[in-house]
A and B are shown apart, each in its own frame.
Chain A
């Protein structure tokens, strides 16, 4: 286990480095110019060059990259080139919206997927089971953005129960209002991710049903379903953990669109704005944090999986 953790840990670090290099490189070649943007339309070439020098944009690429990475290792993700704000501080502040949103979405997804997934597996072959499966298929095909719009139409425009957009300016000072603002967004992401997760849970349950120990329990006299629930669920749980890493990636991505649709002041929306204003340092920092999170969660999930199921062999590739 320790050896696995170390190897996997080394891979994680390698992965983070590669990711950071890819992000840095991908952002260097671009038609827009931050210096020009800051200088404005009435600027002279001298004004633009002055800004370029002040921000170190004229240094060789390698030095810029090393400087950035060096800072990151010290916890400094840099400062915005447009207004000097600390990237780390901004991320921390916007995380107050995105992290609760992601957590709520995950909860919704689990609440939908686990009972319904197991149910649809147990009801396999019957009308209800097929209906559930089909419904999950259909929901999984819905674009997140459209799901959000439809929820807004129903719950905000027609029923008026929930706000169509926005997040209270005071943030979590008014927890009731803040939660209210997150309900529709979390439902949007959670329902679709839940539909996807449901199909996994179903597969995992069906697969567990075919396992020996479950069949043995069934032979001993438990009903097939009872056997499954008592002995097969841990295996199902394990499969869910496997998928969790990818679910989180899906939730992160979904939140970018949802934050835009519901105008929530979170990390995703900030990212879209920063890409538009070419705030290089911020985009670099934000993308690094997002992909880093996915890599780290993947690492944690792998470790957890390995710890819980020592029979899992890291088959050659």
Chain B
């Protein structure tokens, strides 16, 4: 345990150096591209010696496999994680720490009144089938998402009034009202660009614009990409990528140890010591917007009583939970560090079982019996600790471990639950607490007002401020509890450079990764 912490601390001091290295590698690669020379490998400047191998295959171990590759119609972090930025691209994208950057667009401009967004496209963009990308494709993609309810991202384009191609390389989007999140939402499924009139069957094939093409999908096993050598931008650093889907954490560690993986993501902190041995792997700890959310059914008695909810929050020893998990930081409010509006709200729920008991007594709910609905994927640490903590204050918890589909049905759709635990991974999803129809069942007009204001506010800082205020109300109201803000542990073999560190669950942009011989 302590060894892990020490090991991780020393690793973290390399982080700034790693960033500089990544930048250097990127610039060098760009310079090489301009000189139209594809032969000589770019020098990698990281701890490994040797030149970058342009023919390398990168094998990455992932956990959750997408059920379908149709990113237009299927939602899910598993899809976006591998497909966005690698196969498909949007007008804009986001970095590991959720800053917005240009992608297909060479530049973007927002009018002073926040209603007009102008994007100028890069030159020479082609789809994988060879067709050139023009503004017509962009317009068609966005228009389809806006008009068709079944397309992913439809809801994000609700404020869009019109989408127009001013010329071959310029797209203008006008909104009906200013929206702080609009540009950010274009970094997701809503902003992806598909070829106009394309008939490719997206369930198993693709026709994107990204630095990789899809070569094979072995369902239940692996997904393979190959470098797109006709990519319009900086070519990828590796020749091919294989994503190995290993849902079992122990199996993942074994695969890494046996040498079949170059990178293992989502390493279980309790198993990490195995990979740390002999310097075989470098472990990085990354930030995420993954919020371990313990939802309370605010619409159902006795959870509609704020005192009961607050008591439950006070009964949980958050620090012990994180210690048992091995990774993560405490989170006491709905907004994580990487999102605008984050503030430390630990004062709203200090660990105080005695106060919890007295609150429950006050609310007339001693000897309360509640059920926790939790997808079995999350393991047993959380249920075990919650059961134990709640028992100490007189609450008997029954744990109902279900598969995701059943969770979706009973909790998410039918709102038939008491407590539920799920990792909410989407960035900037505070809006869920401002939506009375969301499965939280939380309905606070003040929060809704503040949220709406924050969205139409033109100044980013003021908007963040408003979000912060709203978040504080939500935390004080104990609308939910946040067991942790997850950190992601990644084990990287020496010689692999430029592998992303943060936000890996939602984005895995591999264009800048190189492998030295």
Q: Is chain B in direct contact with chain A in the complex (CB below 8 A)? A: yes
- Tell me whether A304 is interfacial, beta carbon within 8 Å: no
Q: Which chain A residues numbered 21 to 57 have a C-beta less than 8 Å away from chain B?
A: 31-34, 36-44, 46-47, 50-51
Please name all residues of chain A whose beta carbon is closer than 8 Å to the beta carbon of B67 when the two chains form the complex: 37-38, 82-83, 277, 279
Q: In chain B, residues 197-252, which have Cβ atoms closer than 8 Å to a Cβ of chain A?
A: 201, 203-204, 218-222, 242, 244, 246, 248, 250-251
A34 touches B405 (CB 8 A): yes
On whether the beta carbons of B203 and A84 are closer than 8 Å, the reply is: yes
A78 at the interface (CB under 8 A from B): no
Does B367 interact with chain A (Cβ within 8 Å)? no
Interface residues of B in 41-75 (CB under 8 A from A): 67-69, 73-75
The smallest beta-carbon distance between B486 and chain A, in angstroms, is 18
* Cβ–Cβ contact B149 & A169, under 8 A: no
B405 touches A82 (CB 8 A): no
Chain B min CB distance to A54 (Å): 10
Number of interface residues of A (CB under 8 A): 40
Given contacts A85-B219, A163-B254, A265-B220, contact A32 B75 (CB under 8 A): no
| Stretch of A11-19, A219-227, A239-247, A268-276 with 4 or more beta carbons under 8 angstroms from chain B | A268-276
Convert B410-444 into 0s and 1s, putting 1 for each residue whose CB lies closer than 8 angstroms to a CB of A.
10110000000000000000000000000000000
Q: What residues of chain B lie closer than 8 Å to A9, measured between beta carbons?
A: none
Knowing A32-B409, A37-B67, A38-B74, say if A166 contacts B251 (CB, 8 Å).
Answer: yes
Assess the A90–B408 pair: CB atoms within 8 A.
no
- Secondary structure at the B interface, as helix, strand, loop or mixed, is loop
A130 at the interface (CB under 8 A from B): no
Closest A residue to B67 by CB, please name it.
A82
- Is the beta-carbon distance between A263 and B246 smaller than 8 angstroms? yes
Q: Does A113 contact B (CB under 8 A)?
A: no
Contact A169 B68 (CB under 8 A): no
The answer to the question of A202 belonging to the interface, with a C-beta cut-off of 8 Å to chain B, is no
**B contact residues around A203 at 8 Å (CB):** none
The reply on B76 being an interface residue by CB < 8 A is yes
C-alpha gap A39/B74 in the complex (Å): 6
Q: Are A31 and B406 in contact (CB under 8 A)?
A: yes
Q: Pick from A46, A83, A166: contact of B258, CB below 8 A.
A: A166
- Complex Cα–Cα for A155 and B169 (A): 62
> Which residues of chain A are near B152, meaning CB under 8 Å?
40, 42
Nearest-Cβ distance from residue B379 to partner chain A, whole angstroms = 15
Contacts of A163 in B (CB 8 A): 254, 258
Q: For A278, list chain B residues within 8 Å (CB).
A: 403, 405
Residue numbers in A under 8 Å from B248 (CB-CB)? 165, 263
The residue on A at minimum CB distance from B244 is A169
Query: Is B408 a contact partner of A41 (Cβ separation < 8 A)?
Result: yes
Given A37-B67, A82-B68, A166-B260, is A44 in contact with B251 using a C-beta cutoff of 8 Å? no
Instruction: Give the distance in Å from the alpha carbon of A212 to the alpha carbon of B76 in the complex.
Output: 71
The answer to the question of A164 belonging to the interface, with a C-beta cut-off of 8 Å to chain B, is yes
Encoded as 1 (CB less than 8 Å from any B CB) or 0, chain A from 77 to 91 comes to: 000001111000010
Instruction: Determine the distance from Cα of A277 to Cα of B410 in the docked complex, in whole angstroms.
Output: 15
B155 at the binding interface (Cβ < 8 Å) = yes
CA–CA, A273 and B247, complex, Å: 10
Instruction: With A83-B68, A165-B254 as known contacts, state yes or no: A46 contacts B405, CB within 8 Å.
Output: no
Tell which of B219, B254, B405 touches A37, judged by Cβ atoms closer than 8 Å: B405
Contact A165 B75 (CB under 8 A): no
B378 interface residue per 8 A CB criterion: no
A87 and B287 alpha carbons, distance in the complex (Å): 39
* A164 x B204 contact (CB < 8 A): no
Contact A84 B155 (CB under 8 A): no
For A94, the chain B residues whose CB sits under 8 A away are 220
Cα–Cα distance between A93 and B222 once the two chains are bound (Å):
14
Query: Given A43-B75, A50-B150, A169-B222, does the pair A263, B68 have CB atoms closer than 8 Å?
Result: no
B203 touches A36 (CB 8 A): no
- Additional 14 contacts, C-beta under 8 A, given A31-B409, A46-B149, A90-B219: A32-B405, A32-B408, A36-B408, A37-B67, A41-B75, A47-B149, A82-B67, A93-B218, A166-B255, A166-B260, A263-B248, A276-B404, A277-B403, A279-B67
- B-to-A contact residues, CB < 8 Å: 67-69, 73-76, 149-150, 152, 155, 201, 203-204, 218-222, 242, 244, 246, 248, 250-251, 254-255, 258, 260, 403-406, 408-410, 412-413
Q: What 4 pairs between A and B have smallest CB-CB spacing?
A: A40-B75, A32-B405, A263-B251, A83-B68
